[in-house]
Amino acid sequence: MALRGLLLSGLFVRAAAFRAAAPMVDGTSEDELDLEVDFSFMTSDFRYPGHSSGVIGTVKEWFGGRAISDDVKEEIVKGHSCARRGARDETYYATSFCYWLPEISAHRQRSSGGLTWKGGAYPKGIPLFKGVQGQGKCVKCSVCHNNARGDHGDVAKTDFVEVLELPSGCLKESDVERFCLSSYDVTAADLKAEKIRCEHVQQRYDRAVSKLKTVQTELGRLPREIDYGIPASIQAAEKSLVQAQRREEDAQSKEQRCRQEVGRACADYQRKHGNLAFMNHLWGATSTETLLNQMSFSCPYPRYVDNNDGQHYDEWIRYNNQQEVYSACKACERAKDTLQSAHRQVYSAQSAVRRAERRIPELRRELQKARDHLRHFQEVERATVAEKRAMDAEWLPQSSACKTTYTDYSTGRSKAVRACAPTYYNASCERACIRLQASDAGCGVVEGSRAVPPSASGTGGIQLTCSPPQPSWILGPYTYGAQEPAGAQCARIAESQKPVYAQKTLKAGWLMKKGRIGGWDKRYFVLESGDAVRSAVLRYWTDDPTQDPGADERVGKGIILQDAKDVKVKSGASYGFEDGEECFKLYHFYRDYRFCVLTDPSDAKFSPAAERDSWVDALEECMPNHRS
């Protein structure tokens, strides 16, 4: 049937944009793109997850869902770094350059590793990595992200750190520092010997000063403690003991009254219930704790039971008797609770008495110890003063010269390390780390869109820049006053590492798509290439995302081409079109898809057939299961 009238409204909107988007869209320069990225750094398992639709799966897919568990990421291989990491839509892997974290940290703020999403909903950019810390490791900052396929182009991601292995025998910062300091100490042996001699004299002087200060402090403190402080504490402890003993007596009296009350309160319960063993121990020497353990009764609430004889006289008599027993039991139980509370007060008071009794002897011993210390410091005062005077005579005349020696040694050591450390760079673990490449360790490998130039999805992309978490210590020993020139570290990294964008947009443009239950819809399609560990995906929007930033992608309905079986050319007439439209059919594991290229009366040179063939060729290249 004719579809011209059905499709007239909006049929040729943005015809020029359609033609411009139709050719291959290459948003990545050749020096930053390698569609044959070797992903052996990531995995040796390049198998895709198995699946089968079945009846339920087919119905689910027909109405817009996936045919298997939402937890299975069908578009990536089993060994993909994101297969078991992150949310369902976080299937895209991206990582920073490989960076060395020195053993000697510069305490710099955390770095994002240079991974930034820029464009789309984030014109100013947002970091994709929260930062990395550590010492003596070669790392890359990695993320599993959704390629901004969230609602309204939102980016979701899960970041993680990957630690890389380096060749054994490479030198770390502590090794280099040790070698350099040992070398300096050999060349400055006389200076070091004088420094050590000065340190020994100064240490003896410092000990004499500290010892005299301690003696003088204690001679001023101890008499006050002996005459006033400790005696006042003893007096307070004795007063506390008297008060605690009084509380103990009061608590014990209250406990005895409560025991008597138990006898009165439980007498009625004993008459109605029968003999209660604990009643025989209330007036004897049985401890309250033992008595409470014997009072293990409970008070079940009475229940009226009908004997079904048609009369209720016996039942009511029995129920009333049980009610009286219950009331007597509760009265006894309340008395028990009161006794239990009184017993806890006795225990608390007895504990306070024991603490007060222990405190008084402790304070008396403390007083005697203070007297002994006072005698000791009085005896050593004269010798301590003499020792301090002797050290004044020995140290003070040479202190200025020794401080100069310290400065000369420290300055010379810093200068020596600044000159020595860079000579070990070629043998360093830092050099071994930053010379790793994408083929070796996946340094700088990015899946998903790139920020510049803008992608056909209009949602922005990843911008990968050099952003080392820590500066180089070997080429700029910052703990010895050195600093490598700005940009030098990134220049070295750039010699071996560069951004490698594993994907690109192969084709984009408008197509008519047949719905699941009939009818045709105009949709904007973007064909996203795959790589060795992920399938190509045909994504689509209800509007052109490059023109309308608010256009929503039909997330979850993208067509995973790993599961596509074949694509066939179809005439527009076979689908009811009558104005030269050309179509194709995509045969897929879950269902078949039908697409058509519209004509454009305003452009006589535009060929729907050529455009259709371009789509078919691009799709065939992305279908590993294509029936050739």
Contact 150, 555 (CB under 8 A): yes
pLDDT score of 258 more than 50: yes
Residue 512 DSSP SS3: strand
Q: What is the pLDDT, as a whole number, of residue 184?
A: 98
DSSP secondary structure, 416-482, as one string: HHHHHGGGGGGGBHHHHHHT--HHHH-TTEE-S-BSSSPPTTSS-EEEE----SS--SSSS-GGGT-
Mean of per-residue pLDDT scores for the chain: 87
More confident residue, 242 or 21: 242
Domain with CATH 2.30.29.30 in the chain: 1-26+504-628
Q: What are phi and psi of 464, to 5 degrees?
A: -110, 115
pLDDT score of 58 more than 50: no
pLDDT score of 300 more than 70: yes
Q: Identify the CA nearest to 258 among candidates 301, 299, 295.
A: 295
Q: What is the pLDDT, as a whole number, of residue 60?
A: 44
- The band of 18, judged by pLDDT with boundaries at 50, 70 and 90, is very low
- Alpha-carbon gap, residue 322 to 301, rounded angstroms: 8
Q: What is the pLDDT, as a whole number, of residue 70?
A: 63
**Strands of the sheet with 505-514, listed across from one edge:** 559-560, 537-541, 520-528, 505-514, 592-597, 582-588, 564-571
DSSP secondary structure, 570-617, as one string: EESGGGT--SS-EEEEEEESS-EEEEEEPP-TT-TT--HHHHHHHHHH
More confident residue, 532 or 24: 532
Taken in order 454, 458, 462, 463, is the CA torsion positive or negative? positive
Q: What is the pLDDT, as a whole number, of residue 50?
A: 76
Taken in order 142, 147, 150, 152, is the CA torsion positive or negative? positive
- The band of 326, judged by pLDDT with boundaries at 50, 70 and 90, is very high
Q: What is the pLDDT, as a whole number, of residue 387?
A: 97
Q: Identify the CA nearest to 526 among candidates 157, 27, 8.
A: 27
Residue owning tokens 């369902």: 88
pLDDT score of 27 more than 60: no
Q: Identify the CA nearest to 100 among candidates 474, 357, 445, 627.
A: 474
Best CATH choice for the domain 1-26+504-628 from the list 1.20.1200.10, 3.30.450.40, 1.10.1660.10, 2.30.29.30? 2.30.29.30
Taken in order 82, 87, 91, 94, is the CA torsion positive or negative? negative
Q: What is the pLDDT, as a whole number, of residue 549?
A: 72
Q: Identify the CA nearest to 143 among candidates 440, 435, 445, 436.
A: 445
In tens, the pLDDT along 508-562 reads 999 999 988 888 999 999 999 999 999 999 999 988 888 887 788 888 889 999 9
Give mean pLDDT, residues 611-625. Answer: 93
pLDDT score of 192 more than 80: yes
In tens, the pLDDT along 68-118 reads 456 789 999 999 999 999 999 999 999 999 999 999 988 766 677 899 999
- The band of 312, judged by pLDDT with boundaries at 50, 70 and 90, is low
Would you state the structure tokens that stand for residue 296, as one six-digit string? 């293990």
Would you state the structure tokens that stand for residue 467, as one six-digit string? 């952003």
Q: What is the pLDDT, as a whole number, of residue 59?
A: 42
Name the maximum alpha-carbon separation found in the chain. Answer: 121
Q: What is the pLDDT, as a whole number, of residue 482?
A: 94
Burial class (CB in 10 A: 0-12, 13-18, 19+), 170: middle
Q: What is the pLDDT, as a whole number, of residue 310?
A: 64
pLDDT score of 10 more than 60: no
Spell out the alpha helix ranges (H) of 63-130.
none
pLDDT score of 568 more than 80: yes
| Claim: this prediction has a pTM higher than 0.85 | no
Q: What is the pLDDT, as a whole number, of residue 601?
A: 82
- 132 CB-near residues (< 8 Å, 6+ apart): 99, 101, 110, 111, 113, 139, 141, 161, 469
In tens, the pLDDT along 388-400 reads 999 999 999 999 9
- The band of 339, judged by pLDDT with boundaries at 50, 70 and 90, is very high
More confident residue, 315 or 459: 459
Contact 129, 143 (CB under 8 A): yes
In tens, the pLDDT along 475-523 reads 999 999 999 998 999 999 999 999 999 999 999 999 999 988 888 999 9
pLDDT score of 31 more than 50: no
The pLDDT > 70 percentage for the chain reads 89
